Each structure stands twice: as C-alpha cells, then as structure tokens.
Amino acid sequence: MAKLAIIAHGGAGADPLKKSNIEEAIQKGSSLLESDACAVDAAVEACVILENDPAFNAGTGSVTRLDGSVLVDASIHVNDGRLGFVASMPETPNPIRVAEALLDEEINGLGGIGAREWADQRGIPRSAVTPRPPGKTASGDTVGVIAMDSEGVMVTATSTGGCSDQPAGRIGDVPLPGCGFWVESGVAIAATGIGEAITREMLSHRVHGWISRDGMPMGRAFEKAIKTRFDESTDVGLIGMTSDGSCAARANTNMPWASWNSDGIRG
Ligand code: ASP
C-alpha cells in the first residue's frame, strides 16, 4: 500500500498569508484520501476549493484579459498516462472539472467556446466569472495540487486565470503538457509563474527528467532549474511529489504552499 500524500501551492508571487487558504484545500484532499477516495478525486476537490476561493487567480478569482474577458485554463494528468486540459474557457468557475471529464475521452484538450459547449453538454456548471477588482490583477495566485492514493496513483491538477492584461486568446503553461505539469514513473511536478518562460523551458518535463532519469533529489532539481534556467526577475515556482510520499516546493519569490502525508509529515 502506498503512502497517502498531497501538496498544493497558491502561485508564485502570491501573498504568503494565503498558506492558510491552501491548508483548507489540503485538509479536504487529505480527508478524502483517508476515506479511500482516489487521487483524482482528492486532487480535483482540493483544486475546486482553491478555484472557489476568490483569493486565487483560478476559477472564481481569475484575472481579466486585455479586452476585459475572464478566461480560464486547467489541466489534470494521471500517472497511468491519462490527461485532460482546457484553455481560454469562458464562464467556467471550475475548469478543473472539465479537464477531469476529459480524462476518459479520446481527445485530451479543448479550448475556448468549444470547450464551454462541450462542458454544457455534460452538465458542468456555466456561470459568469466576476473579474477581480482593478489593482488586484497581478499574475501569480494560480493554483496547483498533486495527490497520491493508497494504490500509488499520482495526479497533478492545475488551474489559472492566466496572467493579467494579456490578450484574450493567450495560453500559458498550465494547460500545456510538460510545461505546467507532468507525472510519470513515480515523480509528479507542477509549476507556477510566468507561463511563457515556463513553456519555453518545458519546465515540468525538464525537471522531471533530472529527478526520474538522473536521480537528482527533488529540492536540488527545483533549485537548479530556478537558478540556471530563469532570470531572477521572472517569477517561477515548483511543487513535486515522489512515489515514497515525499513532497518538495521551491520558488524564487513568495509561494504559499502546504503538504501532508500519511506519516503525519506536514509542510
Ligand atoms: N503560470 C500561469 C500562467 O502563466 C500563471 C501563474 O502561475 O501565476 O498562466
């Protein structure tokens, strides 16, 4: 039986006081895992708590684009290879539920209005997402969760409104496999920060290789990536989990995060 474990972040560049909000999501995810829920459910429900919290730039609290629209991205990846992601979706307070619904479909990803219509056909709630008040529209505050259940299934779930003041169709790293997330062979990674820089580095997949292929400890791989692949002025953060239930988090700026595993270790 694998250890149960969960870790979540509230975005690179976010207020460290938001750790208590993250702890709520961890509480939800860990109690689900303890009551035998699968890692997909634990990661999704923890992510939904963060999407419903207006303190975060995901779902409900998402930032506005240059044209005043609010468009959301989300992704989910399971270590059995299943994948779901949505990009630039309108009127969707919980895009992670749409990404989850894609897990067992032949297609992996959907974008824009087509994604919304597909979600409508499956009864996934549509409602206007109220833009954040002006002045609170920094990037950052994106959310990400990694969970592992007793069967050793590992899942990443990430969600964002993107970076503020970007064009309506802009796609960051969150819905792009290998960029904002990657899980395979007992190592799961989720990234946050400036999506363009993360995407150019294919950051999650790159760091995954250093850990899984080269045997580098997670914390050291994160530090190496942040120091050697990014400019100091580019916000970036990473969380990760390995199949022994260990978790790690690093960023070059504030990044509220929290973790728990069934050995009673909290971070
Ligand atoms: N990575 C997200 C994006 O660029 C934003 C963030 O993590 O703060 O869309």
**What structural domains and CATH numbers belong to the chain?**
5-127+137-261 (3.60.20.30)
Which of 132, 141, 179, 192 has most ligand 1 atoms within 8 Å of CB, for mutation? 192
**40 dihedral zone (left: phi>0; alpha: psi -120 to 50; beta):** alpha
Average pLDDT of the chain, as a whole number: 94
Start-to-end Cα distance in the chain: 22
Nearest to 146 by CA among 101, 100, 204, 188: 188
Q: What percent of the chain has pLDDT over 90?
A: 85
Task: Assess whether the C-beta atom of 193 lies below 6 angstroms from ligand 1.
Answer: yes
What is the per-residue pLDDT for 27? 97
- Ranges in the chain, pLDDT < 50: 136-137
Q: How far is the CA of 158 from the centre of ligand 1 (A)?
A: 10
What is the per-residue pLDDT for 221? 98
Q: Could you tell me where the DSSP H helices lie in the chain?
A: 19-34, 39-51, 95-101, 112-121, 195-201, 203-212, 218-229
Task: Assess whether the C-beta atom of 160 lies below 6 angstroms from ligand 1.
Answer: yes
Measured between alpha carbons, how far is 150 from 148 in angstroms, rounded to an integer? Answer: 7
Q: How far is the CA of 110 from the centre of ligand 1 (A)?
A: 18
What is the per-residue pLDDT for 243? 97
What is the per-residue pLDDT for 136? 47
What is the per-residue pLDDT for 131? 67
Number of H helices, E strands in the chain: 7, 11
Q: How far is the CA of 184 from the centre of ligand 1 (A)?
A: 22
CA angle 136, 171, 122 (to 5 degrees): 95
pLDDT in tens, 106-142: 999 999 999 999 999 999 999 988 766 655 445 679 9
In terms of C-beta density within 10 A (0-12 exposed, 13-18 middle, 19 or more buried), how is residue 229 classed?
Answer: middle
pTM of the model: 0.96
What is the per-residue pLDDT for 137? 45
Q: How far is the CA of 35 from the centre of ligand 1 (A)?
A: 32
Task: Assess whether the C-beta atom of 10 lies below 6 angstroms from ligand 1.
Answer: no
Q: How far is the CA of 142 from the centre of ligand 1 (A)?
A: 6
